[in-house]
Chain A
Amino acid sequence: MDTVIDARGLTHAYPDGTTAISDVDLTIERGERVAVVGANGSGKSTLQLALGGLVAPTAGEVTYFGETTDAEAVRERLGVLLQDPNDYLFNTTVREDIEYGPAQLGLPRERAERRVASLADELGLTDLLDRPPFRLSGGEKQRAAVASVLAFDPDVLLLDEPFGAVDAHYRARIRDLVRDHDGTVVVFTPSLDAVPEIAERVLVVDRDGSIAADASARAVLTDGDLLADVGLRPPTTVRVFAGLLDDSDVPLTVPEARERLRDAL
């Protein structure tokens, strides 16, 4: 398998002395679906920025695609979506924002226009394209930000809370877009309910910014003690069935749970 991201001893301390991530080693292979989970303030966003080459690590380094440690050299292949859409949308209209990445990263115009149209349609932004982003609602901004990162079709998606403030309908749309992405996906989130639907592998960030676990989604999501230690709770379905079934049998998603209940009733 090809390694897309390889981090060694990655550490970042903010200027005020807060060490947000410490000594992180991790390797992500092409095509993997990974969720990075952790409590608020554990360092997920800092890890995402460091992996995306947007903050300089105070120690350690990241190698991209086995070829370079300079993120700018591979910018068009890295889709880094920041947590706060207010930081991500800075153009004067939504259309300009979605086109910004493709234009800067050299995508041919016709291709970019087709992509903008299809993403706008998918994410319900068609009527908002000529509006200034700051006049959108929270969920609309989030959808516009997701469209902006998908627009230039990067190989690797590093998405920090892509579902923030989005309603159930569009949450499902975003989930499908992420699932259908043919490349590598890493999602950073503090809420575990959506994890089983998008990731096979889960990295757990401890409160001190170190990696507490790196295992399959099932192993992590059913490990109540581990999750409690880092300030998290298993997803709702797991909590409902915990103790009733073996860990290896516990349903992780709602459809799985429904199946289980139908069998039992």
Chain B
Amino acid sequence: MSGVLGRSVETITGALRALFAAEQLATADGFLQRRDPRVSLCAITALALGVVLTRTLGVALCFAALTAGLARLSAVPLRRLLARSAVVPLVSALVVLPQAILLPGDALVRLFGVTVTEAGVAYVLLFTVRVGVGVALLSLLVLTTPFSALVAALRELRVPVPLVWVVAVTYRYLFLFFDELQRLVLARNSRTTGETGLRDGWRDARRIAGTFVLRTLDRGERVGRGMRARGGSRPPSPYGRSRRVGVADYALLALAAVAVVVSGVIRWTP
């Protein structure tokens, strides 16, 4: 699978894998790194909820600025954060793109006989920014807190065990899923030479998709054994990383609470 298709698959898998990959930033010194994992978890989840709730582009952009500020304070380079969280909103933008034409409203431009409406563009823009900021917030959380500390925090917050289980397992499997995809693409690229046309590319892609499903299932089974061998069939119970909850922790929680309330008020006041 070389050529255009191969390269784009490689880019997308690389980016998605990066989204789920832990980085050393979790141990770097910064604002979020120094927070109690339970506090980061609650505050950031609340912020993500707040941005997803909003129907106003201005509010969504404020959340974006807040996210950028938190990243800055936590020594997370903005470019890194963008690279990690750009794929999901771009893909979802593609999905909602038809709305730019379908939504009725004042015409913005006419292209090839179709009318792009102002309301449509605003909708697509708002949707993309919301998804983007939501994903960026979650990436920020994962970048600044070790995953096992997050799982431990979920347990300490008395989230029901089955739910923690789902979170822990899903995260790990998504991670493996992209790892497997990356390996498959690499293996294919190392065995195909020269540029192939788009048509061959598609045929190849279909065959790979079949192999991929089988391999992922098989890998899932084997990794499941690896987990069970070390007590994976018992409820997730990583060592906690709680710290003393201090002024900065309360400040972060308050900030998140205010942001969510303001977002809610703006949305629901007529």
Contacts and interface: CB of A to CB of B under 8 A. Distances in A.
A199 interface: no
A62 interface: no
A87 B24 contact: no
Identify which of B147, B179, B219, B238 gathers the most chain A CB atoms within 10 Å of its CB: B238
B7 interface: no
Interface in B236-259: 236-239
Interface stretch (B88-96, B194-202, B223-231): B223-231
A61 B198 CA distance: 54
B229 A99 contact: no
Interface string A116-154: 000000000000001110100000000000001100100
A105 B21 contact: no
B45 interface: no
A84 B231 CA distance: 18
Contacts of A54: 225, 228-229
Contacts of A52: 229
A99 B230 CA distance: 10
Contacts of A109: 239
Contacts of B230: 75, 100-101, 104-105, 148-149, 152
Interface size class of B (residues with CB under 8 A): 20 to 34
B231 A101 contact: yes
Interface string A43-78: 000000100101100000000000000001001101
Contacts of B211: none
B69 interface: no
Residue of A80, A90, A100 contacting most chain B CB atoms (<10 Å): A90
B231 A104 contact: yes
Given A49-B225, A130-B27, A90 B172 contact: yes
A236 interface: no
B234 interface: yes
A179 to B, nearest CB: 22
B146 interface: yes
Contact of A91 (B172, B179, B229, B234): B172
B226 A82 contact: yes
A27 interface: no
Contacts of A106: 237
Given A104-B234, A132-B21, A90 B148 contact: no
A91 B172 CA distance: 7
Interface string B171-186: 0100110010000000
Contacts of B146: 92-93, 95-96
A82 B229 contact: yes
Contacts of A81: 229
A219 interface: no
B222 interface: yes
B238 A103 contact: yes
Contacts of B228: 54, 72, 75
Interface in A142-177: 148-149, 152
Interface in B78-121: none
B233 interface: yes
A87 B147 contact: no
Contacts of A88: 226, 229
A92 B21 contact: yes
A5 to B, nearest CB: 15
Nearest to B232: A104
Contacts of A202: none
B71 interface: no
A4 interface: no
Contacts of A99: 148, 238-239
A204 B239 CA distance: 41
A105 B231 contact: yes
A112 interface: yes
Contact of A90 (B23, B26, B223, B236): B223
Given A76-B231, A104-B230, A104-B231, A82 B222 contact: yes
Contact of A92 (B22, B225, B227): B22
B239 A112 contact: yes
Contacts of B148: 91-92, 96, 99-100, 103
Interface string A222-252: 0000000000000000000000000000000
Contacts of A76: 231
13 contacts: A54-B229, A72-B233, A75-B230, A76-B231, A82-B222, A90-B227, A96-B147, A100-B148, A100-B231, A103-B148, A103-B237, A105-B234, A152-B230
